[in-house]
Chain A
Amino acid sequence: MGKVAIIGVGQSAFVRGYPGSIRELAFEGFKEAMQDAKINTKDIDASIICSAPEYDKQRSPAGVFAEYLGLTPQPTFYVETLCSSSSTGLKLAYALVHSGLHDVVVVLGFQKMSEISSAESQERMGRGADIQWESPFGTMMPAYYAMYARAHMAKYGTTSDDLALIRVKAATYGRINEKAVYRKPVTFEMFSDPESPMSNPVSSPLRVGDCCANADGSSCVIIAGEEKAKAFCEKPVWIRGLGAASTAVNMSGRDLFTGLTVAEHASRQAYKMAGVTPKDIDVAEVHDCFTIAEMMAYENLGFAKPGEGKELIKSKETYKEGSIPVNIDGGLLSKGHPIGATGGSQIRTIVLQLRGEAGQMQVKDPEIGLVHNIGGVGLYGNVTILGR
């Protein structure tokens, strides 16, 4: 079987309170990807729709979207792994194309989170954990990641100041990403300023500034087999490596609290499939739903040794000019995190980087890029390696 390429990428702006329905939101990401790929809906053989379903009144959105996007009578599938749904969708799309079953497949991720309150949203997200044994204690995503932060601090001496540096970096690039929900600057000083909302405790040791922004958004990635990719596309970006893993949903079943085992497993698979090592990665998108999540990603992906992630951010090695630029689009922290759309947006960022089309966010001449996309509290891990 031949290679598989990404031939089109798109995303909506990530916003608070999208003034339209979910099918209209989906259309925005789809339109940009179709215009990017310069293809017709007749060229598409199948669609994979990705989201976390608990935010929507619509049951089974795949059929509704396929009709609205003009992708009937082709088959459509619905895929869910919480916050990593669209990376999982990409992996399955790869399998469909690589197997020869289909030639061109659309992966569309979306989420409209704004129809419910923040507290309701926390309750729904908390139910992505173990509803029988954990949710009855009153759990929410920030509290789980906060436990990872506490354990990382206890073992490695990581500090809240180290984590704040990650948010400052995210905001640096959120400011120049016109698709980002949070465009304002964040300074290190805000974290110690009681007047700044950034310093407000959420779940110790995490503060408001350590947490990503909820948003509404859609993303779209179009892939094709080698022959069609070369026919359709001047700058195909090849899918070089794919890794995915799962672990115990309940914290009682976890062995590691200073990192995510799913990211370790998924990255090992992806590096092996691509035949590269962490040193070969020129630009990366990691799942920074919380600052500690980016710190652990540095270590789980092999950019730093366990416990040494803080040195990478302190020395600014993960800035645009550094040795391993990470989240040069603002990340989930500033660009925003519309659950089902996030993975596809990360893929889009890396594709633009590898094509040299990332504008102000462009890293110097990258050849190989990596996407790390996590579902739940390290429940699902997906790592994708792309190359020119």
Chain B
Amino acid sequence: MGQKREIDDRFKKFGTVSFTSFSKVNDFVDYLEDGKIMTTRCKDCGLVFFPPRADCYQCLSSNMEWVEISGSGRLISYSKLEYAPVGFGDDLPYSIAVLDYGDFKVFGRIADNIPESDISVGMEFKTVVNHLPNGQLNYVFQKT
């Protein structure tokens, strides 16, 4: 009897609906389960990425280390959706946004508990892990 091959499809747990099952940066999902938002830095040239990557285009190295995203980022822009693509209707309404952390930017959602009237471009937010009602994981932007 041959050994049963382990299928590492952890990435399918990311987001309300995941469109990707396999990635070399699957550990991102394990870190989310531990309450951490992590990204990758190239150990050879020092370039920091978001989203995490397995490979560095600057020096062609695949020698990456995980670093935690801490502190706050400035809100570049956002939009509150009143319609959703198939599979996301139960989440409505929700807002997508981009934060500027200086060395990198993060795309994600704004936390549901923040009314749109409290949001303005330029505000500081932190990125935190979010457990979705369907058992999936993502991250959201919360007030600092």
Contacts and interface: CB of A to CB of B under 8 A. Distances in A.
A194 interface: no
Interface residues of B, number: 42
Given A132-B51, A137-B96, A203-B82, A151 B77 contact: yes
Contacts of B83: 119, 122, 140, 142, 202-203
Interface in A124-172: 126-127, 130-140, 142-144, 146-151, 154
Contact of A252 (B16, B23, B106): B106
B81 interface: yes
Nearest to B139: A137
B87 interface: yes
A131 B107 CA distance: 13
Contact of A251 (B11, B107, B122): B107
A205 B19 CA distance: 28
Given A119-B86, A147-B98, A140 B105 contact: no
A138 B81 contact: yes
Interface string A187-202: 0000000000000111
Contact of B107 (A123, A137, A148, A200): A137
A204 interface: yes
A250 interface: yes
A204 to B, nearest CB: 4
A117 B89 CA distance: 14
A19 to B, nearest CB: 25
Contacts of A150: 77-79, 121
A257 interface: yes
Nearest to A119: B86
B82 A136 contact: no
A250 B107 contact: yes
B76 interface: yes
A138 B98 CA distance: 14
A136 B14 contact: yes
A122 B85 contact: yes
Contacts of A123: 85-87
B16 A137 contact: yes
13 contacts: A119-B83, A130-B51, A131-B19, A135-B19, A136-B15, A136-B138, A147-B78, A202-B83, A203-B79, A204-B95, A250-B51, A252-B106, A254-B98
